[in-house]
Amino acid sequence: MSETSSVSKGCFVFKSSSKKRKRHGGVDGYLVDDDGDDNGRDRFRICQKLMDTVQMHIEEIQDQLNKKVLDNLVEFIKKHEHCYSSDVWRQRASEIPTAALMLGVNVPDHAMTFRSLCNLLQDSVTRFVVSVHAKDCAAVKLLIQRVLDQLMGKGVSLDEELEDDAAVPQRTQCAMSTLCQWYKTVPKKCALVSPERREHSKNKDLPRRMPIVVIFKDFEAFNSQVLQDFILICSRYSQELPFIFIFGIATSPSAIQHRLSHSVSSLLCIEVFHSLSCTQHLASVFDQLILTSQFPFKLSSRAIQVLLGIFLYHDFSVQNFVKGLQLSMLEHFNSQPLSVLCCQKREALLCAKTLSQQNVERIRHLPSFMRYVETQEPQVQVQLLTSDEHVKEVCQKLLKKLHKYHKNYYPILQCLHALTSSLPKCPLGKHLRELHVSCIEKNVWETEEYASAMQLLRILAKDELVAALRNCADILKSASTKRMQNVLKQVEDFVDKLEELECNFTQDPPGDDVILSGMDYQRRTDLFQLQKNLLEKESRRTKKMSPFEILQNQVLQFIDDLVREYLTPAELQPLSEVCYYSSSGVLRQRLNAAPRMSIQAALSHPFYYLQKEALKTNAGTVSSTAPDICIIYKLHLECGRLINLYDWLEAFVTVISAAEDKDQSSDEYGEYDSLKHARFIQAVSEMEFLGFVKSTKQKTDHVARLTWGGC
């Protein structure tokens, strides 16, 4: 007892130094700056709110895009569910209904689609839904085991009285006969458990014929023999077990022919279902999430190009694109203290009123705010540089202007895209995101593509121009600003004036200057002279513009004025740094990982990873206390294309002998025993596994080097 009391008396508390960075508890503590800024909690709260908004919108978009194909799959299963209780199924009992779901090459997005499909089927069609992966089903026994585990587990969990050891199959009982016995008993008991099911199941045969849906999520990855054996087994039991298969295919329907033989595929009644492409999915994400004024966080043109490059050239995954967007949000709120203003308009104005002196000083150092100060009068400049209260008032006005800019920018952007997206060769881009990148990067009206688009708009027929203007009117109807409503009225007036015209142009009666003289008519066979006369008379003739051409020029001039007024680059707007994330280099470094460079840096400079003072060396030298693979790596940098294993071993033993403090003049220095030999072999094997060397047939005692250079 005395020892315990003495230990308790030896506990003391030491206060940390005030100069050290104050760390808040929780995740929001990481958003606190080194200089003592205390808006980390607010930034974390705003960032978390935006994260939840993004996730909610992504799920809604996913449900909207997959609704059609999922509804078709449900109808397909319901149709065959009714057939199972009729004579048609008994006549074609050997054929298993199969849905080939074409999902595309965006494999990371398939998980969300299958999750929605399973939930929809369990809620509206059948409780017996099984989803299997190829990695878990390397053999037929494992595949049957997965199916039985998921099915019989669901059946037992519906009623607590059924949860006994006898109802759960052991691995030795995993056979289709066990599933048949379970299917004959469980649906009858389950139909009496829920009163709702008792009311809806007026047909007593419905629970007995409830289909068993097996979803193969990655059909191409399954072993062909495993699939064929499983289908043959299921076909033998098709009269007792109403199976329905769903194949998740990423490539094309021909994958079924490549994976299954004709005798096996003839046992399937296949129907193909196509989902929307990943590019259409990405366009929906852009239109409803990024290109909208309701979402305060914005991406610069370079950041968008980095995310689009990863999407188009790597995985076509919308989910990974969204993760990149979320990473951009985290980086923005972590690196920019003024991101506390990156929120909805009302909340941003309240935050602007309570800005700290430090954040006011940060606003003064923003490039966009400095440009704004330079455009003001000298007296106003002095107030902006000296008075914090005046900066807060101006900041509120600029935030209102920034939000108004976004509300006017996106409708005009969509109108310009509606006018130019159907033009030949799509000079301003086929997708809205391409036009958006061009507009926020530079003055789009100064580009050659914009001039080409305006020239092509001048040759549109009246019907085409009216249809394009009607699309613009539909877009402007959803705009909320008064200015956009005035633009809508002007567009509708142009549509009414164009519809009043009887034809696209009025043709003037031919005059004397157009009718060829008798001499010209006699020389009509002389093509050169005829062309010369026509060009001379056409040059002397003054063409009179038709009413359609006059009205068309007015429409194009009106569109050009809107573009120049509202589609200015975002970086020219004051306080744009508050909402726009532009660190494309950081984003590329985080998402486009370079594993080989990281491995080379770790092997060349192990001190920065292991934090051992003994590993500090000068450039080009090898530390004898470094890990074996680091020594092997640095030694192989001194070799050419082929490396002699014996010389490599001798150099390795020489280096590690220096760590044992042996005398260099002794006979034992540089000699290797079985332990050193084993360490060398293990290190070389690790180098081969990492892809730095490989065995070669040119010389048996040599290895070939696969990389050049180093860190």
| Of the candidate ranges 285-299, 402-416, 620-634, the one whose mean pLDDT is the lowest | 620-634
Per-residue confidence (pLDDT) for residue 154, from 0 to 100: 47
Q: Tokens at residue 371, please?
A: 């440009």
* CATH number of this structure's domain 57-276: 3.40.50.300
Per-residue confidence (pLDDT) for residue 606, from 0 to 100: 84
| Mean pLDDT confidence for 325-338 | 92
Which of these, 247, 217, 214, lies nearest to 108 by C-alpha position? 217
Residue 426 burial (C-beta neighbours within 10 Å; 0-12, 13-18, 19+): middle
Of residues 285 and 85, more confidence is placed in 285
Rounded to whole angstroms, the Cα distance separating 581 from 336 reads 9
Q: For residue 92, what pLDDT band results from cuts at 50, 70 and 90?
A: low
Q: Judge whether residue 13 has pLDDT over 60.
A: no
Q: Tokens at residue 68, please?
A: 């059609």
3-state class (DSSP) for residue 78: helix
Beta strands in 596-711 (DSSP E): 642-644, 693-695, 702-705
Q: For residue 639, what pLDDT band results from cuts at 50, 70 and 90?
A: confident
Per-residue confidence (pLDDT) for residue 494, from 0 to 100: 92
- Let me know: does 687 contact 643? Beta carbons within 8 Å: no
Q: Tokens at residue 158, please?
A: 């519906």
Question: pLDDT tens for residues 155-204?
Answer: 333 333 434 444 444 443 668 888 888 888 875 444 433 444 444 444 44
Residues pairing with 581 in the sheet: 299
Which of these, 464, 456, 458, 548, lies nearest to 505 by C-alpha position? 548
Per-residue confidence (pLDDT) for residue 672, from 0 to 100: 66
| Of the candidate ranges 182-186, 453-457, 614-618, 652-656, the one whose mean pLDDT is the lowest | 614-618
| 42, 205, 242 from 81: Cα distances, Å | 54, 11, 8
Per-residue confidence (pLDDT) for residue 187, from 0 to 100: 57
Q: Tell me the percentage of the chain whose pLDDT exceeds 90.
A: 41
Q: For residue 132, what pLDDT band results from cuts at 50, 70 and 90?
A: very high
| 614, 635, 641, 649, 705 from 620: Cα distances, Å | 16, 10, 19, 19, 19
Rounded to whole angstroms, the Cα distance separating 687 from 552 reads 70
Q: For residue 87, what pLDDT band results from cuts at 50, 70 and 90?
A: low
Q: For residue 304, what pLDDT band results from cuts at 50, 70 and 90?
A: very high
Q: Judge whether residue 581 has pLDDT over 60.
A: yes
Angle of helix 224-236 versus helix 140-157 axis, rounded to 10: 50
Question: pLDDT tens for residues 667-710?
Answer: 555 566 788 889 999 999 999 999 899 988 888 889 999 887 65
Rounded to whole angstroms, the Cα distance separating 434 from 453 reads 14
- Let me know: does 277 contact 104? Beta carbons within 8 Å: yes
Q: Tokens at residue 85, please?
A: 């209780």
Per-residue confidence (pLDDT) for residue 557, from 0 to 100: 94
- Let me know: does 565 contact 409? Beta carbons within 8 Å: no
Angle of helix 547-566 versus helix 462-476 axis, rounded to 10: 30
What are the φ and ψ backbone dihedral angles of 222, each rounded to 5 degrees?
A: -75, 150
Residues pairing with 213 in the sheet: 129, 244
| Mean pLDDT confidence for 13-20 | 42
Q: For residue 525, what pLDDT band results from cuts at 50, 70 and 90?
A: low
- Let me know: does 317 contact 307? Beta carbons within 8 Å: no
Tokens 């082929």, residue located:
642
| Mean pLDDT confidence for 450-460 | 92
Residues pairing with 703 in the sheet: 643, 695
Rounded to whole angstroms, the Cα distance separating 538 from 540 reads 5
Question: pLDDT tens for residues 31-69?
Answer: 655 445 567 888 999 999 999 999 899 888 888 888 899
Per-residue confidence (pLDDT) for residue 15, from 0 to 100: 45
Rounded to whole angstroms, the Cα distance separating 540 from 397 reads 58
Rounded to whole angstroms, the Cα distance separating 144 from 108 reads 26
Q: How many helices (H) and strands (E) does the chain have?
A: 32, 10
Q: What is the pTM of this model?
A: 0.75
* Distance between first and last Cα of the chain: 60
What are the φ and ψ backbone dihedral angles of 176, each rounded to 5 degrees?
A: -65, -30
Of residues 5 and 254, more confidence is placed in 254
Q: Judge whether residue 520 has pLDDT over 50.
A: no
Q: Judge whether residue 481 has pLDDT over 90.
A: no
What contacts 24+ positions apart, CB below 8 Å, involve 623-628? 624/655, 624/656, 624/657, 624/658, 624/659, 625/659, 628/652, 628/656, 628/679, 628/680, 628/682, 628/683
Per-residue confidence (pLDDT) for residue 159, from 0 to 100: 38
Per-residue confidence (pLDDT) for residue 179, from 0 to 100: 86
Report DSSP state, residue 171. G
Q: Judge whether residue 466 has pLDDT over 60.
A: yes
Question: pLDDT tens for residues 334-365?
Answer: 999 999 999 999 999 999 998 989 999 999 99
Residues pairing with 628 in the sheet: none
Q: Tokens at residue 169, please?
A: 């199959």
Please count the residues of the chain: 711
Rounded to whole angstroms, the Cα distance separating 561 from 567 reads 10
Per-residue confidence (pLDDT) for residue 86, from 0 to 100: 54
Instruction: Assign 3-state DSSP to the chain and report helix, strand, coil percentages, each to 5.
Output: 65, 5, 30
Q: Judge whether residue 237 has pLDDT over 80.
A: yes
**Mean pLDDT for the chain overall:** 81
Sign of CA dihedral 674, 676, 679, 685: negative
Q: For residue 619, what pLDDT band results from cuts at 50, 70 and 90?
A: low
Question: pLDDT tens for residues 253-284?
Answer: 999 999 999 999 999 999 999 988 888 889 99
Per-residue confidence (pLDDT) for residue 247, from 0 to 100: 95
Rounded to whole angstroms, the Cα distance separating 99 from 246 reads 5
Residue spans of the domains in the chain: they are: 57-276, 281-492+567-581, 595-705
Q: Tell me the percentage of the chain whose pLDDT exceeds 70.
A: 79
